[in-house]
Structure 1
Amino acid sequence: MKILVLGAAGQISRYLTDLLLNETTDELVLYGRNMTTRLNQYAANDRVTLINGDFADEAALTAAAKGVDAAYLNHMHLTSDVQNVVKALDANHVTKLIGANILGIYGEVPGKFGQWNLSMVGGQAGEDAMLASAEVMEDSDLADYTVLRLTWLFNQAGNENYELIPKGQPFKNAQVSRQAVARGIATILHDDSGQYSRQSFGIGEPDTYFDKPSFY
């Protein structure tokens, strides 16, 4: 399998890259700004291709997506960036995309945690902007997209504990490790059952139903 990692210098992308290199035979295309400098530790790996580029460059994205089977998008902050990614995948007949978004975009976070989260992401305007990016994927013709709504992140080696909360259900999980998110992405990338296709899931650590993350 050949996987395009978009925004490959991000922390989750780095955990995902190492996981896939250590546990699979996947080939990886790592795309982002200054890849040959920031991720030069992979330069000698014959399963890795480093490509310098940004999400505003549709031509570079299209070239990077050539021959890949699936893609992971590490952030969805700008709707125009997500549109460019979808166009690049469509041009190469790539149908599988996982995009990392934030919790709260559907008003699905209840109680005190929901109020705290809303205040931290810049209020309703912040959530609406991320919802617009999610809708680009949801309205696309991609046969196998998955929107992952990430709760509050921390690092903990060895903690890969996560659960997926389907769209339409309350999302109460206050935190999840980046290592767990990387594991979830890898699982979805390699799943052929269709159970994650054209869906949006919250991803959080089970039983972390707090008023705010434990590290705040």
Structure 2
Amino acid sequence: MKTVLILGAAGQISSFLIPQLLKQTDFNVKLYAHNASSRLTISDPNRETLIDGDFNDHDTLNQAMDGVDAVYLNEMRDITSVKNIIEAMDANHVRQFIGATVLGIEDEVKGAFGHWNTSMIESSIIKRKATAKAIEDSDLTYTLLRLAWLYNKDGNTNYELTQSDEPFGGTQVTRQAVAQLIVDILSDNSRKFARKSLGVNEPNTNWDKPSFY
């Protein structure tokens, strides 16, 4: 049975991912977050484990990796944290990594939307180019998710994917759809997502900016 470590388990995408993993799979989940015990509630104690820690807590991070088959990182903002995670995964022979990052890190967002996106999150793009490179330079079996602008809509799990050599496909995507994609990646045994950086957007949203702006 697969065990998944969710780093940043109190994040918004994680809040949709956790129940979907419990519902759609038989995986065990470790929920790692700062002050996890006060911010998160376990619904299935037989399958969920809470871990209090941050990404600079080397001992706790290493202990969390014990028995883990895959890691999902909810936020790839900080280069030191990402390097610590890579080191802990290597030390514990954990190979599969899924990381949520932002659109624009491959200069793949074109046209009016590309200009708008850069004007809104240029500093975030610069930081996440560095963290993505650290993952891509590692020997992890990674899948990077370059996410369109995020919003919530129950029941909307529609997503489409673009590859690294393709223009980004749309302006927005629901967190529910991203959670479903992560479940799909973790459940896939064909390795079609391995060593890939994927653009993630909702179909038919190729606009100049997201609908909620």
Instruction: Check whether TM > 0.5.
Output: yes
More moved, 44-53 vs 180-189: 44-53
Q: 1:13 — aligned with what?
A: 14
In structure 1, how many angstroms separate the alpha carbons of the residues matched to 2:14 and 2:124?
23
Q: Is the 8 A contact 1:36 1:50 kept in 2?
A: yes
Q: 2:155 — aligned with what?
A: 158
Q: TM-score, normalised by structure 1?
A: 0.96
The one-letter code matched in structure 2 to 1:15 is F
In structure 2, how many angstroms separate the alpha carbons of the residues matched to 1:162 and 1:43?
27
Q: CA deviation at 1:33?
A: 0.5
Q: 2:56 — aligned with what?
A: 56
Q: CA deviation at 1:126?
A: 3.0
Q: 1:82 — aligned with what?
A: 82
Within a 5 Å distance, the mapping from 1:1-216 to structure 2 comes to 1-39=2-40, 41-42=41-42, 45-121=45-121, 123=122, 125-142=123-140, 144-216=141-213
In structure 2, how many angstroms separate the alpha carbons of the residues matched to 1:199 and 1:120?
26
In structure 1, how many angstroms separate the alpha carbons of the residues matched to 2:195 and 2:39?
33
In structure 1, how many angstroms separate the alpha carbons of the residues matched to 2:209 and 2:130?
25
Gaps of 5+ in 2: none
Q: How many residues are matched? A: 212
Q: TM-score, normalised by structure 2?
A: 0.97
Residues 167-215 of structure 1: CA deviation (Å, up to 9, x unaligned) = 1110031000000000001111111111110110010001100100001
Q: Is the 8 A contact 2:169 2:199 kept in 1?
A: no
In structure 2, how many angstroms separate the alpha carbons of the residues matched to 1:51 and 1:162?
31
The one-letter code matched in structure 2 to 1:162 is Y
Q: CA deviation at 1:38?
A: 0.5
- CA RMSD in angstroms, aligned pairs only: 1.0
In structure 2, how many angstroms separate the alpha carbons of the residues matched to 1:176 and 1:60?
33
In structure 1, how many angstroms separate the alpha carbons of the residues matched to 2:149 and 2:59?
33
The one-letter code matched in structure 2 to 1:33 is H
Q: CA deviation at 1:58?
A: 2.0
In structure 2, how many angstroms separate the alpha carbons of the residues matched to 1:7 and 1:152?
19
The one-letter code matched in structure 2 to 1:14 is S
State the identity as a percent. 50
Q: Is the 8 A contact 2:146 2:199 kept in 1?
A: yes
Q: Is the 8 A contact 1:162 1:181 kept in 2?
A: yes
The one-letter code matched in structure 1 to 2:19 is D
Q: Is the 8 A contact 2:161 2:169 kept in 1?
A: no
Q: Tell me the SS of whatever aligns to 1:30.
A: strand
Q: CA deviation at 1:148?
A: 0.4
